[in-house]
């Protein structure tokens, strides 16, 4: 939420180059390599940005899976070869909310790199939330990185082996 509030420009792109807001926010967090505070920090965050955060907020390596808990709607997206999951809120006022089940299938050491696994029936689709259904998913609901990206390495193979179910 804080990162989205700090966006200051809109650029018109052709439909083939557009990415949705949640994917863009995840990509920005991954590219900044810092969990908190986002840069530039919101005015209401009392953090001296002249101090180095060190290992507390730093992200020295790109993760395979990034769980971004926020008050925004639940989603599962692939950004920069990273499976990004926002499980949403477990409780919404007096009602139940959502949570995420993340299944990462073990890699087959004999398989060729970037081979697409067959998801198990129990690790089925993304949940019923509209934002979750909008995630990049194959016919079985396995969240996977789009093909043809430069990140087709270990990160992409993790993404292709990950099933996210938002309940």
pLDDT attached to residue 18: 67
**Mean pLDDT of the region 58-71:** 83
**Mean pLDDT of the region 116-134:** 35
Tell me the sheet residues that pair with 82.
79
Q: Is pLDDT above 60 for 120? A: no
**Mean pLDDT of the region 22-37:** 80
The predicted model scores a pTM of 0.56
Nearest to 79 by CA among 31, 115, 118: 31
Domain-wise residue ranges, the chain: 2-166
64's CB contacts (< 8 A; 6+ apart) are 82, 83, 154, 155, 158, 159
Q: 32, 25 in Cβ contact below 8 A?
A: no
Sign of the alpha-carbon dihedral angle for 126, 129, 131, 133: positive
Sign of the alpha-carbon dihedral angle for 122, 128, 132, 138: positive
**Mean pLDDT of the region 36-62:** 65
Q: What is the mean pLDDT of the chain?
A: 64
């Amino acid at each position: 939420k804080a990162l989205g509030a700090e966006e200051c420009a809109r650029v018109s792109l052709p439909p083939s180059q557009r990415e949705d807001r949640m994917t863009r926010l995840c990509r920005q967090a991954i590219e900044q390599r810092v969990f908190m505070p986002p840069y530039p920090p919101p005015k209401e965050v009392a953090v001296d940005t002249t101090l180095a955060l060190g290992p507390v907020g730093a992200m020295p390596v790109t993760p395979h899976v990034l769980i971004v808990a926020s008050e925004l709607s639940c989603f599962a997206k692939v950004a920069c070869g990273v499976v990004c999951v926002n499980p949403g809120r477990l409780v919404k006022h007096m009602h139940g909310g959502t949570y995420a089940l993340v299944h990462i299938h073990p890699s087959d050491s004999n398989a060729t790199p970037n081979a697409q696994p067959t998801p198990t029936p129990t690790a089925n689709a993304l949940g019923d939330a509209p934002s979750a259904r909008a995630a990049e998913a194959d016919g079985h609901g396995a969240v996977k990185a789009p093909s043809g990206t430069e990140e087709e390495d270990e990160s992409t193979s993790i993404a292709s082996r990950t099933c996210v179910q938002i309940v």
